[in-house]
């Protein structure tokens, strides 16, 4: 199949393809991190994860419009502020949802699935009523568009580099919060034994609320970042939800490292296969492989040992 | 609410009548109520449709909720505008159009169920509706069984024809062939790379395009790729495009994927002003989401652009914006949806009846000179004769007309040699 191309061409395409795989990997990690925290640490199946992401995207869109109208000089930097606002907005909504809905369902994990699915429908219709049924276009500052020219065939997309950088940053931050901070220790204690954690004086309700808010906030940041590569519409969140669950479940629910490993293996398989066959077939084969591995290892790639 | 208006109309009429009786000598100078000259209901409605002496009811059946609401909103708006304009101009056979709107909710069985409700319970005289082929395929057996009339606005893959459907959008050969001819001639294009979403419309369209490229244009298809609906990562296919260096990228990616595709194309350093790209799925509506800066330079091939410079369109665009807001854009399908109520009105007037059988028989040959796209005429096969146009996307999200066929293109839903 490659006979007709020169070695130089092929070499640079493989570099590009490797890069495409890395971008896909970052995208997967970014969208799965929030869910991994919520699903992994709290056992809540949050079907509205995509809608929290899209809230972040809409916040970005509003920020962009605001800057264009009132602060055109600062437009080139608006994206950083937009991501912070997206985190706050999604986190706040997450906190509200936890308080009003989720906390009543902790003992019934399957019901959270139904409740959050309903929530996702409500949010979709709310976005449609507020922002209109059509998609909105988020305008990006000029420096974030286009690519860095390396050679004739190797071009590095700037938005890809941005997403990768952001992913590394957020992953490190989450790892620090979960494994080094006092609050992270409390979260892990609650996961391992809720009753005991409560008995030693941890306010488990508060821990739950902030964990959920953190997960939703990260979803918001992810949504904000994805305005660079995808669409922003009332139902755009649905585009991400399947892949997100796939990554989290395949990685093993309670493990951050598992999420990263699973995102890496799925994205690399996907992007390698995509190069040799059509996109739809690549997806089918990737899903088959995941299903096969989960049949042999139902707990996912990395499983936390928890005393039941 | 409709009952109130009806009573309001009646009492106003009664008052007018009393006034008229009181002033019999002045009767001749009183404006006559418009339906006085209208033909009797029993004569023009022999099959029990919802037609009264003053009103006729039609159905609007689109997705106002769910994923397809993004696309179908424009069609709903266009149909409501057309109905309002027809009413303002005196209605049909002296009767005002009243519409019942149902929500297909982006769910195909719901479409079928609502179509049945409109035809059986509401007895609507016609349905303006459906958008995706899947929804049309779900509704088709219903309109055929209950003998309804459906005006379908979307450009689609062809391979269908029904007595009960008027297709106001283009079928695939009508839309694609002229565009391919143009780009082959204008850009000397020999090699094509196809990228599409993975469902019936892109696959059928690409099949037709491939036959045309290989058999007629004597060119080569160097790649044909499909991605699942809603896919958001296109970097791999973009790499393949870079490797194969096609003269033209031919795309029919739809929905949210579109946005991802063009953003990533731009990010990968493919400059659409140098790399010709021909799309059959991006209208002004889609550019709203994609962003003009990401797609500027790409060519689109369809029958209508908002920027068309003709008197009909110059009246249509401001009227649409006045009704639905200054920022709304009008894409190809929105314009085709606008044709539905008008074509139905003209056909009813030609047939002199609301009966579906008579309308189906009278449809061929009906021409609409006020169409924003110019002039259209219904073919024997219930599709429209229309021109095909190529536009170039600009930064502001509008298309600049580059080329249009000299004559109307004949609709050919079952193209020989392309299947």
| pLDDT digits 0-9 by tens, B359-379 | 999 999 999 999 999 999 999
Lowest mean pLDDT among A268-277, B49-58, B116-125, B348-357: A268-277
Considering only CB atoms, A229 lies closest to which of B65, B263, B285, namely B263
Percent of chain B with pLDDT over 70: 91
Q: Is B259 close to A146, i.e. CB distance below 8 A? A: no
Structure tokens at B226: 């499909």
Give the residue from B289, B280, B228, B287 showing the smallest Cα distance to B251.
Answer: B280
pLDDT in tens, B240-296: 898 889 999 999 998 778 888 998 898 888 889 999 999 999 999 889 888 898 999
User: pTM for this structure?
Assistant: 0.84
Residue pair B123/B354 in contact (Cβ under 8 Å)? The answer is no
* Mean pLDDT value across chain B: 89
Using CA atoms, how far apart are residues B146 and B138, in angstroms rounded to an integer?
A: 14
Shortest Cα–Cα distance, B189 to chain A (Å): 20
Inter-chain contact B291–A137, Cβ cutoff 8 Å?
Answer: yes
Q: How many CB atoms lie within 10 A of CB A101?
A: 15
Q: A107 CA to chain B: closest CA distance, Å?
A: 31
Please give the ipTM for the structure prediction.
0.82
Residue of B280, B276, B406 whose CA lies nearest to B332: B280
Tokens of A180: 């080094």
pLDDT at B225: 92
User: Per the CB < 8 Å rule, is B290 touching A133?
Assistant: no
pLDDT computed for residue A4 by the predictor: 67
Give the nearest partner residue to B269 out of A24, A128, A146, using CB atoms: A146
| Residue of A1, A2, A31, A235 to mutate, interface with B, max B Cβ within 10 Å | A235
Looking at residue B183, what is its pLDDT? Answer: 94
CA B92 to CA B344: how far, in whole Å?
9
Which of A5, A135, A157 faces B259 most closely, judged by CB atoms? A135
From the CA of B15, how many Å to the nearest CA of chain A?
Answer: 42
Residues 6+ apart with CB under 8 A from B237: A274, A279, B195, B225, B227
Separation of alpha carbons B25 and B230, rounded Å: 71
pLDDT at B68: 81
Nearest-5° Cα angle at A150, A269 to A19? 10
The contacts of residue B199 (CB under 8 Å, 6+ apart) are B134, B229
Residue owning tokens 């005196």: B90
Using one digit for the tens of pLDDT, what is the confidence trace for A149-169?
777 777 888 888 999 999 999
pLDDT digits (tens, 9 = 90+) for B75-89: 999 999 999 999 999
Best of B194, B243, B252, B285 to disrupt the A interface (most A CBs within 10 Å) is: B243
What is the model's pLDDT at position A278?
A: 81
The answer to which of A292-301, B17-26, B400-409 has the lowest mean pLDDT is: B17-26
Q: Which of chain A's residues have a Cβ under 8 Å away from the Cβ of B267?
A: 145-147, 157-160, 228-229
Q: Residues of chain A whose pLDDT is less than 50?
A: 308
Tell me the nearest-neighbour CA distance from A226 into chain B, angstroms: 9
Query: How many angstroms separate the CA of residue A201 from the nearest CA in chain B?
Result: 45
* Nearest CB to A228 within list B256, B263, B292: B263
Interface test with A, best of B193, B199, B263, B286 (most A CBs within 10 A): B263
Nearest CA in chain B to A18: B236
Q: Looking at the DSSP assignment, which residues form a beta bridge with residue A157? A: A147
**Residues B264, A229: C-beta atoms closer than 8 Å:** yes
Burial A41-76 (b: 16+ CB within 10 A, else e): bbebbbbbbbbbbbbbbbbbbbbbeebeeeeeeebe
pLDDT for the residue numbered A99: 94
pLDDT grade for B3, boundaries at 50, 70 and 90:
very low
Q: Are B265 and A147 in contact (CB under 8 A)?
A: no
Biggest CA–CA distance in chain A, Å, is 70
Strands B55-62 and B127-129, bridge-based pairing:
parallel
Least Cα separation, residue B361 to chain A (angstroms): 37
Asked if B67 lies within 8 A of A128 by C-beta distance, the reply is no
Alpha carbon of A10: minimum distance to chain B alpha carbons (Å):
8
What does the alpha-carbon distance between residue A295 and residue A291 come to, in Å, rounded to a whole number? 6
Is B70 close to A24, i.e. CB distance below 8 A? no
- Chain B residues in contact with A231 (beta carbon < 8 A): 232, 255-260, 289-290
Residue B172 confidence (pLDDT) above 90 = yes
Partner-chain residue, chosen from A137, A233, A271, that has the shortest CB–CB distance to B236: A271
Q: Taking chain A, what is the end-to-end CA distance rounded to the nearest angstrom? A: 54
Chain A residues lying within 8 Å of B286, measured CB to CB: 135
Closest Cα in chain A, distance from residue B360 (Å): 34
Q: From the list B70, B224, B290, which residue is nearest A137 (CB)?
A: B290
What are the DSSP calls for chain A, one per residue?
A: --TTS-HHHHHHHHHHHHHHHHHHHHHHHHHHHHHIIIIIIH----TTHHHHHHHHHHHHHHHHHHHHHH-GGGGGGHHHHHHHHHHHHHHHHHHHHHHHTGGGGTT-HHHHHHHHHHHHHHHHHHHHHHH-SS-BPPP--GGGSSEEE-SSS-EEEHHHHHHHHHHHHHHHHHHHHHHTSHHHHHHHHHHH-HHHHHHTT--HHHHHHHHHHHHHHHHHHHHHHHTTTS-BSTTTTHHHHHHHHHHHHHH-TT-HHHHHHHHHHHHHHHHHHHHHS-HHHHHHHHHHHHHHHHHH-TT-SS------
Interchain proximity B73–A132, CB inside 8 Å: yes
Stronger pLDDT, A12 or B55, i.e. the higher one: B55
For position B199, what pLDDT does the model report? 87
Place of tokens 């077939």: A281
Q: Is the pLDDT of residue B11 over 70?
A: no
Q: Give the pLDDT band of residue B17 (cuts 50, 70, 90).
A: low
pLDDT category at B21 given cuts 50, 70, 90 is low
Residue B102's DSSP bridge partners are B61
Of the candidates A5, A230, A239, the beta carbon closest to that of B243 is on A5
Question: From the list B230, B240, B267, which residue is nearest A159 (CB)?
Answer: B267
Nearest CB to B236: which of A146, A226, A275? A275
pLDDT at B14 over 60: no
* Candidates B256, B328, B329, B398, partner chain A, best to mutate (most A CBs within 10 A): B256
A20: nearest CA partner in chain B = B235
Q: How far apart are CA B114 and CA B102, in angstroms?
A: 7
Contact A157 B264 (CB under 8 A): yes
Write down the pLDDT at residue A145: 81
Interaxial angle between packed helices A256-276 and A238-251, expressed in degrees from 0 to 180 and rounded to the nearest 10: 120
Contact flag B256-A149 (C-beta cutoff 8 Å): no
């Amino acid at each position: 199949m490659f006979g007709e191309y020169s070695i130089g061409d092929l070499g640079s395409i493989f570099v590009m393809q490797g890069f495409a795989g890395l971008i896909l990997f970052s995208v997967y990690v970014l969208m799965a991190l929030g869910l991994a925290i919520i699903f992994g640490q709290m056992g809540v199946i949050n079907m509205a994860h995509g809608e929290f992401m899209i809230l972040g995207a809409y916040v970005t869109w509003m920020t962009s419009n605001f800057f264009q109208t009132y602060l055109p000089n600062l437009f080139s930097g608006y994206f950083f502020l937009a991501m912070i606002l997206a985190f706050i907005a999604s986190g706040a909504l997450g906190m509200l949802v936890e308080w009003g809905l989720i906390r009543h369902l902790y003992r019934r994990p399957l019901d959270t699935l139904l409740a959050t699915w309903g929530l996702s429908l409500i949010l979709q219709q709310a976005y449609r009523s507020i922002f209109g049924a059509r998609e909105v276009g988020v305008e990006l500052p000029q420096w974030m568009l286009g690519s860095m020219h390396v050679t004739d065939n190797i071009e590095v997309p700037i938005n890809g580099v941005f997403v990768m950088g952001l992913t590394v940053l957020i992953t490190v931050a989450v790892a620090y919060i979960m494994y080094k901070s006092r609050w992270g220790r409390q979260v892990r204690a609650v996961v391992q034994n809720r009753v005991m954690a409560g008995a030693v004086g941890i306010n488990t309700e508060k821990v739950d609320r902030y964990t959920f808010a953190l997960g939703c906030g990260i979803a918001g940041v992810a949504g904000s970042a994805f305005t660079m590569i995808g669409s922003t519409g009332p139902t755009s969140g649905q585009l991400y939800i399947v892949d997100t669950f796939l990554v989290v479940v395949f990685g093993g629910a309670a493990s951050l490292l598992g999420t990263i490993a699973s995102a890496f293996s799925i994205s690399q398989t996907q992007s390698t296969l995509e190069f040799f066959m059509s996109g739809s077939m690549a997806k089918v084969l990737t899903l088959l492989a995941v299903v096969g591995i989960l049949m042999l290892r139902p707990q996912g790639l990395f499983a936390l040992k928890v005393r039941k | 609410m409709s009952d109130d208006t009806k009573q309001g109309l009646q009492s106003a009429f009664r008052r007018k009548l009393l006034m008229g009786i009181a002033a019999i000598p002045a009767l001749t100078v009183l404006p006559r109520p418009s339906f006085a000259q209208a033909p009797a209901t029993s004569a023009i409605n022999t099959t029990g449709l919802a037609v009264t002496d003053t009103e006729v009811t039609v159905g609007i059946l689109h997705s106002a909720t769910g994923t397809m609401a993004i696309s179908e909103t424009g069609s709903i708006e266009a149909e409501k505008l057309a109905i309002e304009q027809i009413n303002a101009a005196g209605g049909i056979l002296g009767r005002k159009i009243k519409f019942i709107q149902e929500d297909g909710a982006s769910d195909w069985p719901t479409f079928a169920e609502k179509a049945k409700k409109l035809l059986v319970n509401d007895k609507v005289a016609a349905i303006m509706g459906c958008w995706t082929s899947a929804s049309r395929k779900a509704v088709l057996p219903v309109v055929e069984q209950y003998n309804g009339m459906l005006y379908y606005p979307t450009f689609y893959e062809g391979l269908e024809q029904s007595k009960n459907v008027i297709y106001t959008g283009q079928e695939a050969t009508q839309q694609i062939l002229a565009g391919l001819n143009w780009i082959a001639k204008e850009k000397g294009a020999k090699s094509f790379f196809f990228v599409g979403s993975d469902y019936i419309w892109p696959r059928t369209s690409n099949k037709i395009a491939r036959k045309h490229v290989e058999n007629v244009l004597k060119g080569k298809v160097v790649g044909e790729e499909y991605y699942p609906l809603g896919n958001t990562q296109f970097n791999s296919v973009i790499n393949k495009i870079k490797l194969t260096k096609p003269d033209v990228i031919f795309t029919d990616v739809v929905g949210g994927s579109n946005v991802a595709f063009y953003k990533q194309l731009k990010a990968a350093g493919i400059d659409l002003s140098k790399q010709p790209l021909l799309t059959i799925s991006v209208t002004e509506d889609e550019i709203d989401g994609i962003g003009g800066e990401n797609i500027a330079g790409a060519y689109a091939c369809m029958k209508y652009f908002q920027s068309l410079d003709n008197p009909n369109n110059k009246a249509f665009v401001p009227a649409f914006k006045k009704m639905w807001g200054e920022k709304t854009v009008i894409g190809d399908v929105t314009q085709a949806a606008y044709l539905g109520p008008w074509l139905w009105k003209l056909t009813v007037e030609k047939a002199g009846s609301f009966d579906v059988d008579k309308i189906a028989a009278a449809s061929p040959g009906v021409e609409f000179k006020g169409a924003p796209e110019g002039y259209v005429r219904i073919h024997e096969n219930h599709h429209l004769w229309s021109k095909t146009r190529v536009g170039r996307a600009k930064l502001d999200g509008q298309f600049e007309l580059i080329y249009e066929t000299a004559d109307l293109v004949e609709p050919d839903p079952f193209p020989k040699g392309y299947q």
